[in-house]
Amino acid sequence: MIALQPIQELYQYDEDVFKEIIQLVVAGWRSAEENGVELPGQGLVFPCILGNKGDWSYLVTSANLCRSYRRAPKGAREAKTHKDNPPGICHLCMCGTREGSWEDLNVAERLIKEARCSAIPSPWDEEPAWAQLWHEESPGGLERFHRIDIWHAFHLGVGKSWVASCVGLAQHLVRESSVDKRLSVLNEHWDTYCTAFGKTKYLRRLDPWTFGLKGKEPSAGWNKAHVTATLMQWLQHFLEEHRQTCERDPTLRFVAP
């Protein structure tokens, strides 16, 4: 059995190196499944590998995914380019292809259900090495072997949007005349909170751009999952200080803990 924790410098500029690392890992696990692992005093143990889980960026690379969130259009020009032949945004279903828009939740729900009942086109051009460890032969089983980490999906997905939206509402608890002044006060509160509770300040400063508060709608501006968790804890602490006001507000009462 092989366990690896390679440093990024080994493979970040050469995708083939990363693929070779994955092949070594798979070979190690396959050997463990077939031949067992000797545990002192307990004999052989035969592990069964049920899936490959990680953040979506890791899955894209390790599973050779051609359908992933990275293929979602990033702007109007790219959306126009993808209009006639959209590549799809998910390896588990056909959302974002000609089959239907991933932004229509009714369509997305139907496509997700269909993918579990009938075969869909493979999300890769080159079958990943992990296929050697696949045990489930139901439709889409090989695709589902590559499992999305729900916590990464939350912290860098809906969690980010939720925090930005909540701060957009909660800023009005600060009695200042502009968003810049209100965020300056919130930043001081953030500093005090992180110091008092021993939190790592991955965000050195909170300002309107952190939460996209000068655009049409709030939009989170960080890319580290731990930041979302820390901001949620800080936000809970801040709102508890304004509990009575939040309970009287028809919107904030749904946000406050």
Q: What pLDDT score was predicted for residue 3?
A: 57
Q: What pLDDT score was predicted for residue 125?
A: 93
Closest CA to 140 of 113, 125, 120, 111: 120
Query: What is the mean pLDDT for each group of 10 consecutive residues in the chain (257 residues)?
Result: 63 80 90 91 90 87 90 64 78 89 86 89 93 80 89 87 94 94 96 96 94 90 92 95 91 83
**Bridge partner list, 38:** 44
Tens of pLDDT, residue by residue over 111-124, are 999 998 888 999 99
Q: The tokens 């939009």 sit on which residue?
A: 219
Q: What pLDDT score was predicted for residue 92?
A: 92
What's the CA gap between 155 and 152, in Å, rounded? 5
Q: What pLDDT score was predicted for residue 81?
A: 64
pTM: 0.72
3 state DSSP class of 49: coil
Length of the chain: 257
Give me the torsion for CA of 155, 220, 194, 150, rounded to 10°. 0
Contact (CB, 8 A) for 147 and 167: no
